[in-house]
Amino acid sequence: MDKPKRLSKADFEARARFRRQLRSFERFGEEQAARHGITLGQYQLLVQIKGMPGRSWALVGELAAALLLKHHTAVELVARCDAAGLVRRERDPDDHRKVRVFLTPVGERKLHAIALRHREELGQLLAHIRQAVGAESGPPPR
């Protein structure tokens, strides 16, 4: 097995910049969500529902996995989103133990408004990711 390469000062500088930018992105998200009357967790849940491949709903278990939450925590988050009018819940017609979660028109509007504001911030974060990875692995191949 090859001995692991030591990380350089530039590697750590790039990682520090990335971590700062990641936290900045997170803070920006918190602020944008708050401006629209929701929490960052609620916004992240809405993103996962809208981003579900091939359908317009998500199962609570899928949301828990996507958000790295315990199932009961996801249930509570969905309940808070439901109470806020952001989502609606329906029993899965094929398996009544499962619950499908759909965005409401209010949830859609808030999601789109916040996501549009995130576009520029996300671009900056991606630039820092590329820089952090580039510093560690050297310049990209040509």
Query: Which three-class secondary structure state does DSSP give residue 91?
Result: strand
Residues 6+ positions from 71 with CB-CB distance below 8 Å: 60, 61, 64
User: Could you tell me which CATH class the domain 9-137 is placed in?
Assistant: mainly alpha
| Tens-digit pLDDT profile for residues 109-137 | 999 999 998 888 888 888 878 887 875 55
Q: For residue 142, is pLDDT > 50?
A: no
Give 24-54 pLDDT, tens digit per residue.
889 999 999 999 999 999 999 999 999 999 9
Please tell me the total number of residues recorded for the chain in this structure: 142
93 pLDDT higher than 90: yes
**CA-only gyration radius of the chain, Å:** 19
**pTM, full prediction:** 0.83
Per-residue pLDDT averaged across 6-30, rounded? 90
